[in-house]
Chain A
Amino acid sequence: MTLGLINANPVVHAKKERIARTDDPHADDAVDPLEIYDILYVRDIRDPEHPYSLEQLSVLSEESITVDEKLGRILITFTPTIQHCSMATVIGLCLREKLKDYFPPHFKVDIKVAPGSHANEESVNKQLNDKERVAAALENPNLRQLVDECLYSSEL
């Protein structure tokens, strides 16, 4: 069932039924995109501006995650709801923060907007993957609070 909104955005989709998975991300050695999607619990990450989850807004899907287990690389691409989404970088921060402790330390996580999905694609991607900038942003109390609200909001 799709809920249409009277105002222009966003398009909200129904929540998918959650399939029970093992809670332990290290239960087996394989790192599976579906597992990452689940860990991200995108159903539970709230969009910074709207009271819906990233999943409901189709910002992220299971297909947006690729894993190269041999090299230890994870690539997540997400689709902001509109081309000039000013919250794209905050969403990226939330994704990174959510994944932080789930993988062996040598794993590298790259987060990008889906190609063509954002007007400032290159600069958003550059910022999201600049380790120093991400670290400084997460030490900033205002941003920290916003990220925490997105990740831990009980409104969903």
Chain B
Amino acid sequence: MASSDEWGRGLHGIILRDIPRHESTTLFSSLPNIRGGACETPVNLAASITELVYRYSISTRTMDFADENFELREVQRLEGHTDRVWNLAWKPATGVDGVPAVLASSSGDKTVRIWEQSPFTGSFECKAVLEDTHNRTVRSCAWSPSGKLLATASFDATTAIWEDAGGEYTCVSTLEGHENEVKSVSWNASGSLLATCGRDKSVWIWEVLPHNEFECVSVLQGHTQDVKMVQWHPSMDILFSCSYDNTIKVWAGDGDNDDWHCVQTLNESNSGDKMVSCSDDLTVKIWGSDIMRMQSGDGTAPWTHLCTLSGYHDRTIFSVHWSREGIISSGAADDAVRLFVESKDGLVDGPTYKLLLKKEKAHDMDVNSVQWSSMENRRLASASDDGTVKIWELCSSSGQKKA
């Protein structure tokens, strides 16, 4: 089997040097998207892409953060998984307008759990366990933009598609093709395309067809190693992938969308809308793109490195996610959750970020995933090797939650 080749028969792949980039495996993160829909983020890097208007509105809102002390208050601890929880995803359009908030979590126990907040008690309860489908770790999960479908990516080399029929989840399709572990799955903004990636170094793009049919339209080769995460831009059909080869690649299609190619490989010398990435190299990096060009529909507008947050983490950062208000959360291998906001010191060109707070011992073990709720601005979920999911509320230290 291919994996034996990497363990015991010599390793292939090189660590690329002298290219200013993440010095180690890039993991993904998010793009904050306030235009409705869930925050999408690629790459263990959290890619947050913001539109120009959003950026200005963020800059006024972040003034609030500078003036107060905040704390991250644990609201609830969700138990049930019998192995580490790798990933979680808030269901779109829930947690608002009287619709109870819903969360999916994927685990090394080969299952996905669906948690729903009770409108009466306010507590999250496990509503469904999606099991007997994957026969290995479920590494990540992603809701379609409408919330009707849930895609689950597994080390068993398949991606399962589940349909929610009033609380009952059925597996309606299984996407096969990857040669080994699938590590990430992401839907585009319109829900017409799905992307998957894995240790076979490839990124697959699938078209969503009627009657729960899926057709692979492109297999993207370009990364030289394991691809750990994929994420679509929140409004454009641009795909980001990040890899064990320490790079982030940006993929765009031509008109008919069946011909995809890599339009950029990110490293620090490149220079929007902003994206945040995190890595094994203990840094968080912020990237930006030319907003004007992106707004005019140019998917090839290049990304540039804006700043690096270093010295804040002393172990691998597994997940970053950018909230609608511009707060970057990180989950790391030191069991802590950290929050960063843009700093208004104005002493340097371009944005700088500062640590808003560090929640030590957020979990008993590594934090693998952090995700802001797309509907409630100050609500955060985290998933850990300790087998639990936690729900948090960001409050000012006086104990009051701001609206």
Chain A residues with a Cβ under 8 A of chain B: 48, 84, 86-87, 89-90, 93, 105-106, 108, 120, 122-124, 126-127, 130-133, 135-137, 139-140, 142-143, 146
- B196 CB, nearest partner CB in chain A, Å: 15
For A106, the chain B residues whose CB sits under 8 A away are 335, 361, 364-365
State in angstroms the CA–CA spacing of A120 and B9 once bound together. 12
Please name the residue on chain B nearest to A87 by beta carbon.
B8
Given A106-B335, A131-B366, A133-B226, decide whether A139 and B24 contact each other with a Cβ distance below 8 A.
Answer: no
For B165, the chain A residues whose CB sits under 8 A away are none
For B84, the chain A residues whose CB sits under 8 A away are 135
Our pick among A108, A123, A135 for the contact of B333 (Cβ within 8 Å) is A108
What are the nearest 4 A-B pairs in CB distance?
A: A90-B8, A89-B7, A140-B3, A123-B11
- B136 at the binding interface (Cβ < 8 Å): yes
Our pick among A123, A127, A132, A140 for the contact of B4 (Cβ within 8 Å) is A140
In this complex, how many residues of chain B approach chain A with their Cβ under 8 Å: the count is: 39
Given A89-B8, A108-B333, A123-B15, decide whether A130 and B1 contact each other with a Cβ distance below 8 A.
Answer: no
For A142, the chain B residues whose CB sits under 8 A away are 1, 3-4
Q: Contact: A130 with B181, CB < 8 Å?
A: no
Our pick among A87, A93, A127, A131 for the contact of B316 (Cβ within 8 Å) is A131
State in angstroms the CA–CA spacing of A48 and B8 once bound together. 9
Q: Contact: B11 with A89, CB < 8 Å?
A: yes
Please name the residue on chain A nearest to B14 by beta carbon.
A123
Given A105-B365, A105-B386, A139-B155, decide whether A132 and B183 contact each other with a Cβ distance below 8 A.
Answer: yes
- B285 at the binding interface (Cβ < 8 Å): no
State in angstroms the CA–CA spacing of A93 and B1 once bound together. 17
18 more CB-based (< 8 A) A-B contacts, given A124-B11, A132-B139, A146-B8:
A84-B10, A89-B7, A90-B7, A93-B7, A105-B364, A105-B365, A106-B335, A120-B11, A126-B15, A126-B24, A126-B244, A126-B280, A131-B333, A133-B199, A133-B244, A136-B155, A136-B180, A140-B4
Q: Contact: A89 with B365, CB < 8 Å?
A: no
Our pick among A105, A130, A139, A143 for the contact of B137 (Cβ within 8 Å) is A139
State in angstroms the CA–CA spacing of A13 and B202 once bound together. 46
- B6 at the binding interface (Cβ < 8 Å): yes
Q: Contact: B333 with A89, CB < 8 Å?
A: no
Our pick among A84, A120, A124, A136 for the contact of B3 (Cβ within 8 Å) is A136
Please name the residue on chain A nearest to B4 by beta carbon.
A142
| Chain B contact residues, majority secondary structure | loop
- A155 CB, nearest partner CB in chain B, Å: 19
State in angstroms the CA–CA spacing of A131 and B172 once bound together. 31
Q: Can you identify 21 A-B contacts, CB atoms within 8 angstroms?
A: A86-B10, A89-B6, A89-B7, A90-B8, A93-B7, A105-B385, A105-B386, A108-B315, A123-B11, A126-B244, A126-B280, A127-B11, A133-B199, A135-B84, A136-B3, A136-B199, A139-B155, A140-B1, A140-B4, A143-B7, A143-B8
- A142 CB, nearest partner CB in chain B, Å: 5
- B108 at the binding interface (Cβ < 8 Å): yes
Q: Contact: B7 with A137, CB < 8 Å?
A: yes
State in angstroms the CA–CA spacing of A137 and B11 once bound together. 14
Q: Contact: B3 with A143, CB < 8 Å?
A: yes
For A139, the chain B residues whose CB sits under 8 A away are 136-137, 155
For B201, the chain A residues whose CB sits under 8 A away are none
State in angstroms the CA–CA spacing of A122 and B84 once bound together. 27
For B222, the chain A residues whose CB sits under 8 A away are none
State in angstroms the CA–CA spacing of A84 and B244 once bound together. 22
Our pick among B25, B136, B364 for the contact of A126 (Cβ within 8 Å) is B25
Contact with A along B180-216 (1 / 0, CB 8 A): 1101000000000000000100000000000000000
Given A108-B333, A126-B24, decide whether A143 and B11 contact each other with a Cβ distance below 8 A.
Answer: no
State in angstroms the CA–CA spacing of A36 and B264 once bound together. 47
- B313 at the binding interface (Cβ < 8 Å): no
- A103 CB, nearest partner CB in chain B, Å: 11
Q: Contact: A130 with B244, CB < 8 Å?
A: yes
- B53 CB, nearest partner CB in chain A, Å: 37
- B13 at the binding interface (Cβ < 8 Å): yes
For A127, the chain B residues whose CB sits under 8 A away are 6-7, 11
Q: Contact: A132 with B7, CB < 8 Å?
A: no
Please name the residue on chain A nearest to B364 by beta carbon.
A105
